[in-house]
Amino acid sequence: MHNAFLSLEEIESLMDHVSDQTKPEELILPSVRESQTSEFGSNENYTDTDELFHEAVSLVITHQQGSISLLQRRLKIGYSRAARLIDEMEKAAVVGPFTGSKAREVLVDETYLEIIKDT
């Protein structure tokens, strides 16, 4: 293992330079729950195009994993329809984005089911 040698003076000079830098402004991002409330409380971007959407969302939330194969097995539907349901759930922020061969992360909890039942 090789690395560069820095003398104590060089280290102190470097640390002084870094500490003189301005601090970045704090960036506050909305939490997932806040974005759910704002997005679904007003029902602006929510479209229920498939009659199995509510059942599929319930299934995904119950199992805490969003996968096409789960929907295919439990709802006895084909790949295309299950993939469309997962895409709808991603647009509705129920599940996270595609991450390879892993199941998608579920972004909502059981309270979301109550929200969509009321709509």
CATH architecture of 8-118: Orthogonal Bundle (1.10)
- Taking only the tens place, the pLDDT of each residue in 43-89 is 444 455 788 998 999 999 999 999 999 999 999 999 999 999 999 99
- Which candidate, 90, 85, 88, places its Cα nearest to that of 104? 90
- The distance from CA 84 to its chain's CA centroid, rounded to whole angstroms, is 17
- Taking only the tens place, the pLDDT of each residue in 24-47 is 777 666 655 555 545 554 444 445
The model's pTM is: 0.58
Q: How many helices and strands in the chain, by DSSP H and E?
A: 6, 0
Where do the structural domains in the chain lie, given as residue ranges?
8-118
